[in-house]
């Protein structure tokens, strides 16, 4: 039986497979090498692919915000996705995939080096998600900048290097959120890989947990604002004159419902996953001995004497494997919520900037950018669509009729 906590010694007779005796600072409740000689924790390993799948789903969902998806319409912001933070969101989903592959390596081998491959991407994922929330809400949107500067705020440079921007009053300032959290992520990565044993376990969860909780706080603030009708109305007030009163009310109501739905699903499922994670870690001796009685169908079909027999045994529900599935789905909902909030803020600030005739906004609407295509209007707004009622994706609702 594997240990139930980092505070107890490992049993001497623990099964050893291809990767040898575990050297990680924590071992989970699943018995080691019981399914395969090559995989230490079979169920935990393959359930880790849930994170890879949801990371790929997140990246695929961004195709709805790509210029090619709207090639018949010139959308100034989709033509410059870095201004909407799409590259940052893409990095979040990519980091989630790295978490999944790192988790495969960790649970497959239970070695200290593979544990680092699992935990370091977790820290980066939490921090990139947090900065997605922060940048859209705490730093002025970088649209009131000269044409020459627009070319400089794209790709990796836009994310890593502090860039000079203008705030809404036209004053220059230097962005600090991304560089600050980049330094934080590097520091966390070094601490997680340098320390060993119980101290490594606590340091990782302290650093990762702080970024994780901060992200929860910001997504909760989005949920709290959506519950207030006045605040939700302010999110779309910039385009009120593009809709009839009834259409506008439906748009705001949809906005409120989608944000509440994403937050509630994400937060509750993530919370349930954390409870399961804690039980699996600390109460393994109990959950591994859950009594189960089932019919011996194999013996019955083989013509065993005495007819159908019932077999009594114990089972392990593989709580950590369920944690992988639930936390992936919960984080996906919260990640799309942050994406939606960021994109909506971008569209709102852009069209307010057009109304103020700010240089950067007007430059994006210049005639040479259009190339004969129909130009998007401020009635074209970000919305949330639901795939099969389960998976939210951000899309653009195009205004098809005049008021």
Q: Which residues line the annotated binding site for Zn(2+)?
A: 107, 320, 324
Nearest residue to 54 (alpha-carbon basis) of 106, 158, 108, 125: 125
| Residues 223, 218: Cα–Cα separation, whole Å | 9
Q: Could you give the CA distance from residue 123 to residue 126 in angstroms, rounded to a whole number?
A: 5
| β-bridge partners, 164 | 174
| Contact call for residues 232 and 252 (beta carbons, < 8 A) | yes
**CB 181, CB 138: distance < 8 Å:** no
Extract the tokens encoding 353: 């900037």
> For residues 355 and 362, what is the distance between their CA atoms, to the nearest angstrom?
9
- Measured distance CA(58)–CA(53) in Å, rounded: 9
Burial bucket for residue 266 (CB in 10 Å: 0-12, 13-18, 19+): buried
> How far is the C-alpha of 141 from the C-alpha of 278, rounded, in Å?
40
Nearest-angstrom CA–CA distance, 38 and 36? 5
What would the two tokens of residue 260 be? 């509440």
- Which parts are annotated binding residues? 28, 30, 41, 107, 320, 324
Tokens of 120: 């370091």
With contact defined as beta carbons under 8 Å apart, do 396 and 380 qualify? yes
Sequence-distant (6+) residues with CB within 8 A of 193 are: 116, 120
- CA–CA gap between residue 299 and residue 117 (Å, rounded): 45
What are the φ and ψ backbone dihedral angles of 93, each rounded to 5 degrees? -70, -35
Mark out the alpha helices in 228-358 (DSSP H runs): 229-236, 245-282, 284-287, 297-301, 319-355
Scored b (16 or more CB within 10 A) or e, 142-156 reads bbbbeeeebeebeee
- Structure-token pair, residue 246: 């009834």
Cα 80 from chain centre: 22
CA dihedral 160, 181, 261, 378 (to 10 degrees): -40
Q: Per the annotation, where are the binding residues for Ca(2+)?
A: 28, 30, 41
């Amino acid at each position: 039986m594997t240990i139930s906590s980092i505070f107890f010694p490992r049993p001497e007779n623990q099964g050893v497979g291809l990767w040898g005796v575990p050297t990680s600072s924590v071992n989970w409740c699943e018995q080691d090498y019981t399914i395969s000689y090559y995989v230490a924790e079979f169920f935990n390993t393959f359930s880790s692919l849930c994170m890879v799948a949801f990371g790929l789903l997140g990246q695929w969902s961004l195709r709805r915000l790509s210029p090619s998806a709207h090639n018949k319409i010139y959308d100034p912001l989709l033509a410059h996705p870095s201004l909407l933070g799409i590259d940052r969101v893409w990095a979040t989903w990519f980091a989630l995939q790295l978490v999944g592959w790192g988790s495969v390596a960790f649970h497959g081998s239970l070695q200290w080096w593979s544990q680092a491959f699992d935990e370091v991407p977790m820290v980066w994922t939490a921090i990139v998600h947090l900065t997605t929330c922060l940048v859209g809400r705490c730093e002025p949107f970088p649209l009131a900048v000269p044409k020459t500067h627009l070319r400089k705020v794209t790709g990796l440079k836009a994310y890593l290097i502090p860039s000079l921007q203008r705030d809404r009053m036209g004053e220059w300032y230097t962005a600090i959120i991304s560089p600050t959290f980049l330094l934080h992520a590097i520091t966390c990565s070094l601490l997680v890989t340098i320390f060993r044993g119980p101290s490594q376990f606590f340091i990782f969860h302290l650093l990762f947990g702080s970024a994780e909780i901060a992200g929860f706080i910001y997504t909760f603030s989005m949920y709290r604002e959506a519950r207030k009708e006045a605040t939700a109305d302010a999110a779309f007030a910039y385009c009120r004159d593009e809709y009839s009163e009834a259409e506008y009310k439906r748009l705001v109501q949809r906005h409120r419902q989608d944000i509440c739905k994403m937050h509630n699903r994400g937060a509750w499922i993530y919370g349930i996953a954390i409870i399961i994670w804690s039980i699996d870690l600390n109460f393994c001796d109990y959950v591994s001995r859950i009594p189960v009685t089932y019919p011996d169908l194999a013996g019955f079909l083989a013509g065993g004497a005495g007819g159908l027999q019932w077999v009594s045994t114990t089972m392990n529900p593989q709580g950590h494997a369920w944690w992988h599935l639930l936390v992936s789905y919960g984080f996906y909902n919260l990640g799309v919520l942050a994406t939606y909030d960021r994109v909506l803020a971008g569209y709102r600030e852009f069209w307010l900037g057009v109304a103020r005739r700010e240089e950067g906004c007007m430059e994006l609407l210049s005639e040479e950018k259009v190339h004969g295509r129909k130009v998007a209007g401020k009635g074209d707004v970000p919305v949330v669509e639901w795939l099969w009622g389960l998976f939210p994706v951000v899309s653009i609702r195009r205004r098809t009729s005049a008021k």
